[in-house]
Structure 1
Amino acid sequence: MSSRCDRQTKQEAKESFSLRETDRILCTVSPSHGFANWDGTPHNGVALLILGWAYVFSASLAERQNLSIEYRAIPHSESPSPSQAMVCLEYATPAERMWWKAVTAQGVAWSIAGNRGSPWTVHVKDIGLAIADASDDDGDGDGALPPPTARQAACYLARLCAVYRLGSQCPAALTAVVTFPLHASRSFRPTAPISLPLPRLPVRLDTFDMSRVDCPPPDEFSRLGYYMALSLSPRILGPSMWSIFWTPDVPCNLAGAWAQAAVSILKPILTDDVDMQLLAKVLSFTRAAPLWLGVALCGHGPVVKSILPYLTNLFAYPHTIPNMTAAAWTGLPTSFFDLSPRTPLVSRAVPRAQIWRLRHDFCAEYAEDQAFVKPPLHGWPPFGEMRIEDVELEIRDHVECEHRWAYQFWTWLLEDNITDSGFITRPSKPTQVRLLRPVTDASRQQEQEEEEELRPIPESDMDNIHKSSKRVTESIFQWSYTQVERGFGGTVVRRLPSRAMEKAHSPERSKHVNAAFIDAWREKIAQ
């Protein structure tokens, strides 16, 4: 930012986190899940690792609040049901084996003391696998062994991965648990269903005994607090994921055309029998790929089902609305508000996107209007420029300032306000990816280009493109509906009915609004 500007810091809106949830994740497994096979190992323990990480998250939350985890009634393993395979973890200690029986038992076999639910509580319906009792006495018949701490449970996960050589399945399982609150937010039922890959582990291992080997917790455990904070708010996690469907170089009036290209790629994949592994691979080139992998591991649920409706219509869902905290925490820009390119003034004109950012940065200067506190409902930038003399007085002195904000910290509003520098203190630039089409020679390339130019866009797609672009454009300009410019007799878009009729900001608003001109302008640009 400019050194001569008196605005050196800014504070974003508060975020709410729910630490107690009555809704639970309802877990089943599917033999037709896309992740049946995992590269580098014949074994598949993703479902167990996901259930284990869910415990680790909840146990860590309890420990941070000076609470504890307690077991409920854990049934002894008898003959497995027809849908279950029996696995004997011979390497495990009695406490370790008892814990695995608890996290895989049907129902809810553990909880935070006082029957307090956590955002990662799992109700197991059937995972197709049961943990067998050891030949010796575990000593768990009377429930004397206490549940492990979060760190101890994380070490149990590491031991399972080491014994069965599960490799990258452990961090992948963690990303699935991170998305649990997002799944719950998209469900209208008390439980949010997820479907995991069917476990495939040998009943016994003849070699590689680790009964006396201590494994450190997985590397991801050292950053557990960050993953928990990111997971707790779907309004932060969701925009970070949906940022892959947005780009800062596309103006709002072309958003429909941009989204339609993504629809044409994803629609053949997102069928009723969607291959979740293929979906994860298609999105693997994006910087949000780990989060989408976590969603894909949870099966064809409401989150996946919301992709096509969003891209087709560009309605603003709660988990898709840009969030500046999300951009700061993850380094994934979700809106043109998250970027501050320096644009030199040309002929006394200022890009509208720059004016929109200033209105947010200096929202406190607008005493009668709170609309600028949060970003617009979509991330695509407004097109065009404004004359400096049309810019309101509240921000006119800042149009030439270089406001390049750098994330510093957030503050937990507890009894003792604690500042936290976060996980990413310097967001990196988004990755630029070009997909090159193989061409045999120059003549063939020219033929392909001509074919693409002549290929008509279906009328239904053109209609969706137009409607979506119009919807986004109106949303972007509705956010700044009080603006007045030369050529417009009043506001660019109609006011929302819920908004109060505030007094206009400077320059003075005209009392005569040419509604027909405004409607014609909107129809013309939203193409």
Structure 2
Amino acid sequence: MEDAVRPDREAFKTTYEKAYRTWSNIHDLAITDFNLPRNCLEQLETAFPAHPHFPEDIEIDGFFSNTATVRGRAVWKTTSGSCDTPIFHDEVLFQVASDRPTVVEISNSHPLSIFEQWHGEEGNHITVLILAWAYILSARWAEIIPGASGPEYDSCTTAWADNYLPCSNDTLLPLAMVDVGDVDDDAARWWAAVLAPSGGWSAWIRNAKGQLLFSPWSTKLSTSRRVNLQRGTRPCVRQHQAQSGAASYMAALRYLRDYCDHHGVAHQSYEALAAALFLSLAKFDNRRVQLPIPRVCHQRESMEKPAVSPPLFSGNLPQLDKLLTLSCNVIGIKALLSSVFFEPGVLCNISGAWLQGTFAYLDSEAVREPRTLVRVLMKRDPDLGFLWLGAFLTGGHSRTLQEARQGWWKVDLHVAAWTGTHLSFIQEPVPILPTDVEEISRADECRLLYLSHGQSYDVAPLFPFAPFGLTAIGDTNLEVRQHTRCQFPHALAYEGLSWQSREGKWTGFQKPMVPLSLRPKYGQPGDSLVTVMYDNLDFDDDCSEMMTRSIFTWLREEDGFPVAERDIREHEWIENLVDSDDGDCLITGESRSAAISLLQP
């Protein structure tokens, strides 16, 4: 007898093979795209033009003992015709402060050294640059968030070297030595705070009880090794008078620019910014960030002084603000990372086979080395590539990969719209159906229910994979039947975001300035001659059951299952979600006919 829910073994195996070959194809594309990392990182200057940013009159929505949040309200349109599906609003929270800094540990044998040669630059400056970007993001945050203070320097500073100690290109000093160049006193003081053990600066806001809450990028450096600073071999050139307080974000950007020019490490600065955006996620996960000991090669006096370049983002403040806002949306960042494992067209009851085949390839010898793995994940959706690199640099990738194996990730439609990322079946448009059609796909049924936005369907399905099969239109609810007949297009369309202001009003509406569309992902099943490894194939250990139960709970919990879906309702994966003694749990033939008559003239 055919199973009403579970695919047969041949279908399961076919989907497993499709996933395995798709990721094999992505691997082939990634290893031949030599500019992939650099191109992905340079997108930081232009990424996600539709992403909102905090306005300067924003209101703190909620203060708690361990966090502070701000609130935005998104506007969604559901049709481009004269249909009466509603424009609706929903809210999104951003975490803008927490009760502790992120602890950063420096390790002499950190595996992230494998990324050193990607940028083609000498030395490993990533740790220094991440800590610098943490300060810059916090300084900009303090200018935006009402009531925020800082940054302010603490009494703790790092040590300065007494003498110039040259190092060769491949020598790691027992004590890390960071040459900041011929800088003035203000820049020297800033670097001493940025690299200070236990933290040399702070940016904070107080909650209602007066307790300190720190910026999302506040760090506390924990290391048994001293990070010494060196100022250069020539006398300091004072460019301006010593400042009265800590460096502003613009001054800090200038100091960072000078450091990058001094060492020729502009691309490492991009990597560091991508990583700094993930400090908030580490804090959210209650996780320490491990970084490698800096390996700084000192400039020789005979070397030609590089041309001075403008500081990154100095003329592009709105873009930096967008990245800052994205970093405060840790749930959204998690959703973006997980989106690379979503495949349009894969249904809920066979999604486990897709994920098994995916990770069978990602665990294979061809990809197991981290440098290759991150390239493959970046190539799947290059617009998200800098996020994957930032996740690997800070250790944020491990939990994402672990959760993705089991299909345990959530949908965030806000960040999906802001970034053009396809991460759920619910984002796809509903086709206009012929007037004589008698069935609708359950996926389109779900979409119309969500677009109608009734009380029981005002939250999107939790997981990304679509339900299988068709529903008789006569067995759907009134909203679905109405909109299958209206002959207008239906699709979820993001219109913009308002922010809660200090006056308690929704203001500062930010509308996308560019048309929004769903970005396709890389990867085709590829060469059928690829040898598929079946070691991970397991017909019983399958997350498809969880996905299927979740979407059918969303779809049928309110109105029950129609008679035609009795086999689905009684299947072990569904387990009679609606009480069988409840007389309203099934849509009978009579009630269905009565409902249809309401739509007839």
**TM-score, scaled to structure 1:** 0.79
Superposed displacement of residue 150, structure 1: 1.4
- Aligned-pair Cα RMSD in Å: 3.6
The superposition leaves residues 337-396 of structure 1 with CA deviations (integer Å, 9 ceiling, x where unpaired) of 122142534731111111111222223x34xx3xx2222221001111111111111332
For residue 20 of structure 1, give the secondary structure of its aligned residue in structure 2. strand
**3-state DSSP of counterpart to 1:14:** strand
1:463-490, CA deviations, whole angstroms, 9 ceiling, x for partnerless residues?
A: 22xx211121111111122343242359
Report Cα offsets for 1:494-520 as digits up to 9, x if no partner.
5769x9x99969956999xxxxxxxxx
Is 1:362 aligned to residue 452 of structure 2? Answer: yes
Query: What is the aligned counterpart of 1:349 among 433, 439, 451?
Result: 439
Partner residue of 2:189?
98
- Identify if the C-alpha distance between structure 1 residues 128 and 351 changes in structure 2 by more than 3 Å, giving closer, same or farther: farther
Tell me: CA distance 1:504–1:93, structure 2 relative to 1, closer, same or farther (3 Å). Answer: farther
Q: Which residue of 2 is the match for residue 131 of structure 1?
A: 229
> Cα gap change, 1:375/1:193 in structure 2, threshold over 3 Å: closer, same or farther?
same
The answer to whether 1:404 aligns with 2:495 is no
Change (3 A) 1:146 1:264: same
- 1:408 alignment partner, SS class: strand
| 8 Å contact from structure 2 (residues 451, 492) kept in 1 | no
Is the CA contact (8 Å cut-off) linking 1:352 and 1:382 kept in structure 2?
yes
Whole-angstrom distance in 1 between the partners of 2:561 and 2:157: 70
1:424–1:284 CA distance, 2 compared to 1 (3 A): farther
Change (3 A) 1:495 1:385: same
* Counterparts of 1:29 and 1:256, CA distance in 2: 38
The alignment partner of 1:199 has SS state of coil
User: What one-letter code is carried by the residue in structure 1 that aligns with 2:437?
Assistant: S
Query: In 1, Cα distance between the equivalents of 2:346 and 2:135?
Result: 42
Which of 189, 197, 216 pairs up with 2:311? Answer: 216
CA shift at 1:296, angstroms? 0.8
Q: 1:72 aligns with which of 154, 158, 174?
A: 154
Runs (5+) with no aligned partner, structure 1? 439-444, 512-527
Cα pair 1:407 1:426 within 8 Å, conserved: no
| Counterpart for residue 426 of structure 1 | 515
Distance in 2 (CA, whole Å) between partners of 1:36 and 1:423 is 37
Query: How far is 1:149 from its partner?
Result: 1.2
Determine the C-alpha separation between the residues in 2 that align with 1:174 and 1:89: 18
| Alpha-carbon spacing, 1:296–1:384, altered in 2? closer, same or farther (3 Å) | same
**Kept after mapping to 1: 8 A contact 2:429/2:491:** yes
Q: How many residues align?
A: 472
Q: Where do residues 287-302 of structure 1 align in structure 2 (5 Å cutoff)?
A: 287=381, 288-298=384-394, 301=395
Q: 1:138 to 1:162 in 2, by over 3 A?
A: closer
CA displacement at 1:406 relative to structure 2: 2.7
- Which structure has the highest strand share of the two? 2
The Cα offsets for residues 228-287 of structure 1, whole Å up to 9 and x where unpaired, read as 22111222111111000001211111101110122112224799xx75433321212122
Distance 1:124 1:479, change over 3 A: same
Residue deviations 1:431-488 (CA, integer Å, cap 9, x gap)? 34345867xxxxxx7xx47x75xx7x34862322xx2111211111111223432423
Q: Given the alignment, which residue of 419, 439, 453 partners 1:330?
A: 419
The Cα of 1:71 is off from its aligned counterpart by: 0.5
Measure, in 2, the Cα distance between the counterparts of 1:3 and 1:505: 35
Q: Report if aligned partners of 1:74, 1:102 keep a CA contact under 8 Å in 2.
A: yes
**Aligned in 2, Cα 1:488/1:434: closer, same or farther, shift over 3 Å?**
closer
* Overall identity of the aligned pairs, in %: 23
1:85 aligns with 2:176: yes
Give the distance between the partners of 2:536 and 2:355, measured in 1 at CA. Answer: 16
User: Does the 8 Å contact 1:351/1:384 carry over to 2?
Assistant: yes
State the one-letter code of the partner of 1:421: Q
Give the match for residue 7 of structure 2.
none
Structure-1 residue corresponding to 2:85: 7
CA-CA distance at 1:294 after TM superposition: 0.5
1:517 is aligned to none
Q: 1:231/1:264 Cα in 2 relative to 1: closer, same or farther (>3 Å)?
A: same
Q: Which structure 2 residue ranges, 5 or more long, are not aligned?
A: 1-78, 163-171, 206-211, 592-601
CA distance in 2, matches of 1:107, 1:215: 31
> Residues 21 and 40 (structure 1 numbering): CA distance in 2 closer, same or farther, change over 3 Å?
same
Q: Return closer, same or farther for 1:425/1:321 CA change in 2, 3 Å cut-off.
A: farther
**1:269 and 1:279 in contact (8 A); partners too:** no
2:134 and 2:217 in contact (8 A); partners too: yes
- Asked if structure 2 preserves the Cα contact closer than 8 Å seen for 1:29 and 1:128, the reply is no
Q: Which amino acid aligns with 2:360?
A: S
- TM-score normalized by structure 2? 0.70
Any idea what the Cα deviations from partners look like across 1:83-142, whole Å, max 9, x if unmatched? 422233233221112111111111111112565411111111138732235686899xxx
What is the aligned partner in structure 2 of residue 312 from structure 1?
A: 405
Instruction: Indicate yes or no: 2:481 matched with 1:390.
Output: no
Summarize the Cα distance change of 1:24–1:333 in structure 2 as closer, same or farther, 3 Å threshold.
Answer: same
SS in 1 for 2:297: coil
Amino acid at match of 1:469: S
- For the residue of structure 1 that corresponds to 2:93, the secondary structure is coil
Aligned counterpart in structure 1 of residue 262 of structure 2, from 135, 158, 163: 163
Q: CA deviation at 1:208?
A: 4.6
Measure how far apart 1:22 and its partner are: 1.4
Matched residue type, 1:461: D
2:318 is the counterpart of 1:234: no
Distance 1:509 1:56 in 2: 65
Q: For 2:492 and 2:551, how far apart are their aligned partners in 1?
A: 22
Per the alignment, residue 203 of structure 1 pairs with 298
